[in-house]
Structure 1
């Protein structure tokens, strides 16, 4: 069973890197400002680690890191589904016949969620992870806002707009609305972190697949 588990995680890593190839292969530097790109690349690295550790019976990624990246990639999928406009095939890159946005926004979040549910051992998360998992998002916001002040025409938006998402577009929204949006999103992160924690507590310590 560990060979299937390892292969599954390697496939997740493949989609993580294929879905973000414009950022790391094509030299489009401003792609790295997207939350989607950052979380997919980080998850890809961790899934390579987890797959190799599964195959070789080595040391798995720490539960905190695995949980944090699972949370962030779920947020990526939910935001793409409920907030972002649908991708236009005429302007979206393709990899192996599939839109990269489909890989990064849909395939990877679903596969990572399944990996958490059926392959990860459970009841590993202490309650305070629901708070410490939130660290990444404020740092991401600070990165975007500081970058926009230093390089105000660096893109990746149209006409050089440095804000990758409308909810943090300081030029269009102003400080008050942007700050309120950030607080609302952070609250959503906390709710989802709590849901992930509760699911981890409800599931058996070892699932039928991890027990094999």
Structure 2
């Protein structure tokens, strides 16, 4: 099973790198969270896939959980809060699939990997809070970038997401919008930890 897990994870990594390939040609796309998480997920899945096949050291549970939380949360925000701005940007893919379809395939494959191959009971209760650290760092980066470089893209005003436009919503409005997003990411992280605790400790890939 470890070979199957390894091949599955390498396939996820390949799709992640394919999905983020437009950002290497239009670097402003890296301002979107989806591209950042997609690239990180590709690195983690490449590491995990090679480790599965070669019986090497797997990525830390903290890092694996981070990737899963952000991938699932991005999908949740897209479907239940606001459509992902990334999907509205023109981007040339190297395979004939839209960015949205490709992203959803990756999220689905990550879910299968978590339930079928992931070693469970490895996430600590504090992990959902630790995973949130990336969000304020990202928001600060995105706001500062748009403020100081308003013509840098990828959108007309350089803000990757509307809820980060502090000049339009005021700091308070932007803060409330960001808190809603944080709540979703925290909820997804908590649910992920609960599933991790409920599932068998030994994975099928071992």
TM range (shorter): over 0.9
1:100 to partner: Cα distance: 2.4
- The answer to whether 1:201 aligns with 2:197 is yes
2:100 corresponds to which residue? 101
* Structure 1 residues 111-151: Cα deviation after superposition (integer angstroms, max 9, x where no partner): 11211111011001111112111111111111101111210
Query: Residues 4 and 198 (structure 1 numbering): CA distance in 2 closer, same or farther, change over 3 Å?
Result: same
How far the C-alpha of 1:81 sits from its partner, in A, is 2.6
Work out whether 1:51 is the aligned partner of 2:49. Answer: yes
Q: Secondary structure at the match of 1:94?
A: coil
Matched, 1:3 2:7: no
Equivalent runs, 1:1-212 vs 2, <5 Å: 1-24=1-24, 26=25, 28-82=26-80, 83-84=82-83, 87=87, 91-104=90-103, 106-157=104-155, 160-207=156-203, 209-211=204-206
Shift of 1:85: 6.2
Task: Count residues in correspondence.
Answer: 204
Change (3 A) 1:130 1:88: closer
Report the aligned-residue RMSD.
1.8
CA distance in 2, matches of 1:203, 1:179: 36
C-alpha contact 1:92 1:101 (8 A) present in aligned 2: no
CA distance in 2, matches of 1:85, 1:72: 13
Distance of aligned partners of 1:206 and 1:92 in 2 relative to their CA distance in 1, 3 Å threshold = same
TM-score normalised by the chain length of structure 1: 0.90
Cα deviation, residue 95, structure 1: 2.9
User: Distance between the aligned counterparts of 1:58 and 1:43, measured in 2?
Assistant: 18
1:55, CA displacement in angstroms? 0.7
Gaps of 5+ in 2: none
Gap runs ≥5 in structure 1: none
